[in-house]
Amino acid sequence: MPAASNETRKRINTDQPHTARIWNYWLGGKDNYEVDQAAGDQIRTLHPGIGDYARADRLFLGRAVRYLAGECGIRQFLDIGTGLPTADNTHEVAQRVAPESRIVYVDNDPIVLAHAQALLTSTQEGRTAYLDEDLRNVDTILEQAAKTLDLSKPVALILLGVVIFIEDDAEAYTIVRRLMNRLAAGSYLVLSHTITRPDMPDVDSAVAFWNQHGTPKLTQRTPEKVTGFFDGLELLEPGVVSCNRWRPDDGGADMAAEVAMFGGVGRKA
């Protein structure tokens, strides 16, 4: 892993597996430790398809950003819960379509902070920024994001696999609504979430193992509860679905099995 500041390094716990590093491991990245690999392998034993979730979520991000930048003309993106940089980060996808796009990344993970420089590359026409902030600090996030984004114009709010860390349903819904309420009409919400469903019991076992051994703890929600995050928004077709089934590039001709990471895109009128 690249060098980090002394202050940042002190915040990184390499003795306990961590979500961002395990996700990175499943995606084939190198920014992880043996403790993360061991936990990731154990979770994969409990649920062999878990690596597909990480890939499906990442591909969902790419398709959603390309759609919003290309079809909807969105030029501003607020990506909260960024995770470790990997291939096709939000700014890379958006600026490939529209070089003038502006992106603000937000994460409170010291591991991500140590790698944030990789997220700050940009086209000359566009701009990127990184905030070391917690999702719960809505006012601070928006105040700082406004230094890069024009909040009087539409913004795509991206919350991929991050509200799973808010255990209380009411608090989670409130945070998302507060963020969307402050964004202009014509803004979009892109959200994904690990689900629980009776026909996917091995997912529950994998999450239980994680919550016993890893950090931070995860909260699963039913597909219906995930859909609740889009209340008051125009939910785009096909709704909240398995991430690999949200407007797949092949049109669904070769549809893979559902993964327990569901996502959707909604528009603020």
Q: What is the pLDDT of residues 172-202, one digit of tens each?
A: 999 999 999 999 999 999 999 999 999 888 8
pLDDT at residue 1, as a whole number: 37
pLDDT in tens, 154-176: 999 999 999 999 999 999 999 99
pLDDT over 60 at 115, yes or no? yes
CA dihedral of 63, 67, 73, 78, whole degrees rounded to 10: -40
pLDDT over 70 at 93, yes or no? yes
pLDDT at residue 39, as a whole number: 84
In the structure encoding, which two tokens stand for residue 269, read together? 């009128």
pLDDT over 70 at 252, yes or no? no
Write the Ramachandran bin of 2: left for phi over 0, alpha for psi from -120 to 50, otherwise beta.
beta
pLDDT at residue 13, as a whole number: 65
Give the Cα separation of 27 and 13 in Å (integer): 21
- Cβ atoms of 181 and 157 within 8 Å: the answer is no
Q: Report CA Rg, the chain.
A: 18
Output the CA–CA distances (angstroms, integers) from residue 220 to 44, 84, 170, 172, 197, in the order listed. Answer: 17, 22, 14, 12, 9
- What is the torsional sign of CA 48, 51, 57, 63? negative
- Cβ atoms of 185 and 268 within 8 Å: the answer is yes
Helix-, strand-, coil-residue percentages of the chain, each rounded to 5: 40, 15, 40
- Cβ atoms of 221 and 196 within 8 Å: the answer is yes
Give the Cα separation of 234 and 173 in Å (integer): 16
- The beta-strand segments (E) located in the chain are 76-80, 102-107, 127-132, 156-160, 188-194, 234-235, 241-242, 261-267
Output the CA–CA distances (angstroms, integers) from residue 54 to 19, 93, 98, 142, in the order listed. Answer: 11, 18, 26, 28
Mean pLDDT estimate for the chain: 88
